[in-house]
Structure 1
Amino acid sequence: SIQTLFEGFVKASVTAIESRDPTTSGHSFRVAELTVGLAETVDRTPSGPYGDVRFSPDEMKEIRYASLLHDFGKVGVREEVLVKAKKLYPNHLELIKQRVEVIRRGLELKYSRRKIEYLLQKGREQFAAHAETLDAELASFLAELDAGLSSVIVANEPSVMPEDFASAIQRFALQSFEDHLGRSQSIITPEEARVLAIPRGTLTETERKQIESHVVHTFQFLAQIPWTREIRNIPEIARSHHEKLNGSGYPYGWTSDQIPLQSKIMTISDIYDALTAADRPYKKATSVEQALDILDYERKAGNIDGTLLALFIEAKVYERTRPRR
């Protein structure tokens, strides 16, 4: 039947999305399961702000399809940005390590040359003492070099970075080492320092905007599909799942009265699954309890709907995606 064909198209589309970012495999299916579960809970609620809300079978179908396809726009985001696990791309970190090795060799040659020059100019007298002094200087520079590389490796992690450490990384880009040819070389460039000083996560501002653009891409793709009248709101629901009630979301900065109820429901499901997913390289999965605490913080901050969150918790909707034991 046409319905079976369409179901196959939707599932194939979701599989195509998630194949570009294997670390989020299953996310869209879990979000759909949670969103439909919360919508069913709202539908059964006899009182409160949503006591009069009832979703028809077609509207439930609309919610499910919008949830399954909410991240389709990620096909328009560069793959290396989608799967970026550290602040620097792997080839960039390798380049820094090679740069450190070149600086190390240059310093060693520089101090070897100074020893030879001293020996040629002044002979063996007092050479041992002078050589010891030069060796100590070289060891100090090499230790500084190693400490610098260690700092780069630590800063490259996606953890929250203290301000003083970020400032130290920025200053580090200004530090240079002179090699045997008199050339000054730095371990990292100012641009690399800027990336390493990202205070939280792994994305630069440009990369973050690329990720956020997936919502617009999703809408543009879904808007081209000739949906039937019963499920024509799928593009609208899908494009609003990153909006926040207080206007701090993206891509449009809409406030509560501009965001469809179905999207508010999906937002809670999307955040919950992103927090508890165990397969993301840039963060560890949180426990169910921690995830619910974070969602409550989001509620207090005015980002998500408190009534919907209460229903999500009271009805234990989150258990719908808990691994079966």
Structure 2
Amino acid sequence: IKQHEEAQKALMESLIELIAQAIDEKSPYTAGHCARVPELALMLARAAEASDKAPFDDFCFRNEDEYREFRIGAWLHDCGKITTPEHVVDKGTKLETIYNRIHEIRTRFEVLWRDAEIQFLQAVMDQPEMEPQLRNVLVKKRQQLQEDFAFIAKLNQGGEFVSDDQLRRLDSIAMTTWQRHFDDRLGLSPPEQLRRGDAEESLPVTEPLLADKPQHIIEYTKPKHYAEHLHIDMDIPEHLYNLGERYNLAVARGTLTREDRFKIQEHMIGTIRMLDALPLPPELSNVPRFASTHHETLKGTGYPRKLNAQQLSIPERIMAVADIFEALTAADRPYKTPKSVSESIAILHRMVESGDIDRDVFELFLSSGVYRQYAERYLQPEQLDEVPLQRYLKHQRK
């Protein structure tokens, strides 16, 4: 019987690791994350058990079941991501959906470029003596189009904060018009046809260069409702997605709209609902908590439940630090430059100072050397730089 029980436990943990591996392979942007976070969390948990300093002097896993419970929770911490669309997780530019719509915008600029050439040639035919002046107008128009597209293209990358002046320029460019001569109702998928509607229009149509159209709004297929006992406390956007061109380009920082961000954060709700549906034995009753609280903050601004310091245990605080450090230093994600150890520690320290993550866990992470052990095992050699420990451990020396 004992052998059978152990075999069942081994099978269950293998299936859990298989799920984590599938999630890692689902998106190159999160490659290896589900496997490395448990490793780092367990390293930090062992350091907490070995510490004789408060608040860890009374902390320990009382038996193998409690240790296993934490390990399984760590492995399942992102299981809800199996439901998150890759094109949202992988969204590398503001106009990206299944593909980067900057190519559509560039084509419209190409249309304007050719329109300017045609207008120039027609004007020269009518007034050949004005050719030098008309050519100057064409050159200036071309230059303006080049500058405007370069501005939109850079804005699309989301690498810098968008200022009010940039928003005004975006609006000015958006109001530029171009002529569409083809019916935009042709070749649509059934969902696109529903959003587009049957309204006829006489061609050609004057279109704004950048638009937020009704068909850019994608509604929920069913109402968002979460069982009360799950205690979900998140602000739900009005729409599932808003693909508006101006709306997306105006995102102030990064590439994600409010709708995109919620869709990504919703993976925590998926995690909670999946694990809540499992008939977990009593010795694994804390697995849903350990798997679902690494995005909470001590000051109560996190998700999905807006828990605060009084509600977060040491293992949960450990999970938060492990999750953040792995994400900052991961070197196997395309289009993302991994941060060095010192840069990542500096970011963690700022999060400590702002009340997001636990100071004691952060200082244990440094003083125990876990950060260095993990870095030497998983990071690239060029990421392994010196960390000014004395700057961050002042609180501990007092």
Normalising by structure 2, report the TM-score: 0.74
1:158, 1:283 within 8 Å by CA — same for their partners in 2? Answer: no
Q: Tell whether 2:174 aligns with 1:173.
A: yes
> What SS does the corresponding residue of 1:156 show, helix, strand or coil?
helix
Identify the residue that residue 188 of structure 2 maps to in structure 1.
Answer: none
Q: Which amino acid aligns with 1:248?
A: T
CA distance in 2, matches of 1:137, 1:289: 53
Q: How does 1:70-149 map to 2 (within 5 A)?
A: 70-89=77-96, 90-118=99-127, 127-128=128-129, 130-149=130-149
After superposition, the C-alpha distances for 1:127-183 in whole angstroms (9 at most, x for unaligned) are 34x01111111111111111111111111113122413344223321234689x997
CA distance in 1, matches of 2:100, 2:343: 35
Identify the residue that residue 243 of structure 1 maps to in structure 2.
Answer: 296
CA distance in 2, matches of 1:247, 1:95: 42
CA distance in 2, matches of 1:298, 1:257: 18
After superposition, the C-alpha distances for 1:237-288 in whole angstroms (9 at most, x for unaligned) are 1111100000111112111112232211100011111111123345421110
> What SS does the corresponding residue of 2:101 show, helix, strand or coil?
helix
CA distance in 2, matches of 1:182, 1:138: 24
Identify the residue that residue 261 of structure 1 maps to in structure 2.
Answer: 314
Identify the residue that residue 76 of structure 2 maps to in structure 1.
Answer: 69
After superposition, the C-alpha distances for 1:284-306 in whole angstroms (9 at most, x for unaligned) are 21110111111010000011110
Which of 16, 24, 31 in structure 2 is aligned with 1:10? Answer: 16
CA distance in 1, matches of 2:335, 2:30: 11
Q: Which amino acid aligns with 2:13?
A: E
Q: Flag the 1:178–1:112 CA change in 2: closer, same or farther, 3 A.
A: farther
Which of 356, 366, 375 in structure 2 is aligned with 1:313? Answer: 366
User: Would you say how many aligned residue pairs link Structure 1 and Structure 2?
Assistant: 316
> What SS does the corresponding residue of 2:15 show, helix, strand or coil?
helix
Q: Tell whether 2:28 aligns with 1:25.
A: no
Q: Flag the 1:158–1:213 CA change in 2: closer, same or farther, 3 A.
A: same
Gaps of 5+ in 2: 1-6, 181-202, 213-243, 382-398
Residue 116 of structure 1: CA displacement? Answer: 1.9
After superposition, the C-alpha distances for 1:172-207 in whole angstroms (9 at most, x for unaligned) are 21234689x997554322532321222222111100
1:201, 1:282 within 8 Å by CA — same for their partners in 2? Answer: no
Identify the residue that residue 48 of structure 1 maps to in structure 2.
Answer: 54
Q: Which amino acid aligns with 1:111?
A: F
Q: Which amino acid aligns with 1:158?
A: G
> What SS does the corresponding residue of 1:213 show, helix, strand or coil?
helix
CA distance in 2, matches of 1:300, 1:287: 20
Identify the residue that residue 211 of structure 2 maps to in structure 1.
Answer: 189
CA distance in 2, matches of 1:287, 1:217: 32
Higher normalized contact order (CA 8 Å, seq sep 6+, divided by chain length): 1
Sequence identity percentage: 31
CA distance in 2, matches of 1:6, 1:87: 40
2:341, 2:375 within 8 Å by CA — same for their partners in 1? Answer: no
Q: Which amino acid aligns with 1:93?
A: I
Q: Flag the 1:96–1:272 CA change in 2: closer, same or farther, 3 A.
A: same
Q: Which amino acid aligns with 1:140?
A: K
CA distance in 2, matches of 1:178, 1:5: 62
Identify the residue that residue 124 of structure 1 maps to in structure 2.
Answer: none
Which of 364, 375, 378 in structure 2 is aligned with 1:322? Answer: 375
CA distance in 2, matches of 1:292, 1:203: 25
Q: Flag the 1:321–1:195 CA change in 2: closer, same or farther, 3 A.
A: same
Q: Tell whether 2:312 aligns with 1:252.
A: no
> What SS does the corresponding residue of 2:352 show, helix, strand or coil?
helix
2:93, 2:100 within 8 Å by CA — same for their partners in 1? Answer: no
Identify the residue that residue 262 of structure 2 maps to in structure 1.
Answer: 209
Residue 323 of structure 1: CA displacement? Answer: 4.7
Identify the residue that residue 226 of structure 2 maps to in structure 1.
Answer: none
Q: Which amino acid aligns with 2:351?
A: E
Is the helix fraction higher in 1 or 2? Answer: 1
Residue 31 of structure 1: CA displacement? Answer: 0.7
> What SS does the corresponding residue of 1:299 show, helix, strand or coil?
helix
Residue 70 of structure 1: CA displacement? Answer: 0.8
Normalising by structure 1, report the TM-score: 0.90
Cα RMSD, aligned residues only? 2.2
